[in-house]
Amino acid sequence: MTQRVPVTSNVDPSILGEKLNFQTSNRLAENRFLKAALTEKLLTYDKNNLKFSGIPNQRLINLYSKWAHGGFGVILTGNVIVDPNHLEAPGNAIIDKSIDSEERRSAFKKLAYTMKSGGSLAIVQLNHAGRQTQKSINEHPYSASDVPLDTFKFAKNNKMMSIMSFMAQLRLLKKILFNWCLITGYFC
């Protein structure tokens, strides 16, 4: 049985409401509350027409508007996939030069603006699902290693994933107004 750690003194939580200075980037969060990453799966997905898949829509904008005005100092997006053939799940946001368009860039700009509309800092989470890519999306995903993932129905992966898939998307995001970028690789 797990033992509880006894609390011997009261802790003042008011520090959470204090501003937080990120010295390296010279950014200031209004408080220390972070809206953590999650997978929203709210966007359109058409395996046969990826050009119109994964574009931030009004449902996603509305959700982030609620969080933006909910008192968070920092808001982190859900999965923004850097390779449309390696989604974590259908409905993920996707940014990739092979399907880049003015509509997609404009939608991501609107998302970043909305995230910051209540005073929060906005972090975009770039992601490559690697071996966690579902078999229905890609039967032969690329990953950083060829160690199989034997959970659920994930595809057998090929060993090959490049940091370049992230770098190409960083160039696209450079003009989209997010404050920072978090790079994530699932089960790489």
CATH number at residue 51: 3.20.20.70
The tens digit of pLDDT for each residue in 142-158 reads 776 666 656 555 454 44
The verdict on residue 7 lying in a domain is no
Is residue 47 a part of any domain in this protein? yes
- Give me the pLDDT at residue 92, please: 97
> What are the pLDDT digits (tens) for 16-35?
999 999 999 899 999 999 99
Range of the domain at 113: 24-185
pTM of the model: 0.83
Q: Which residues contact 120 (CB under 8 A, 6 or more apart)?
A: 29, 30, 35, 67, 68, 72, 73, 74, 75
Residue 14 lies in a domain: no
Each residue's pLDDT tens digit, 37-73: 999 999 999 999 999 999 999 999 999 999 999 999 9
Whether 45 is covered by a domain: the verdict is yes
Domain count, the chain: 1
76 vs 178 pLDDT, higher one: 76
C-alpha triplet 47, 137, 101: angle, nearest 5°: 45
State how far the Cα of 124 lies from the Cα of 152, in Å rounded to an integer: 28
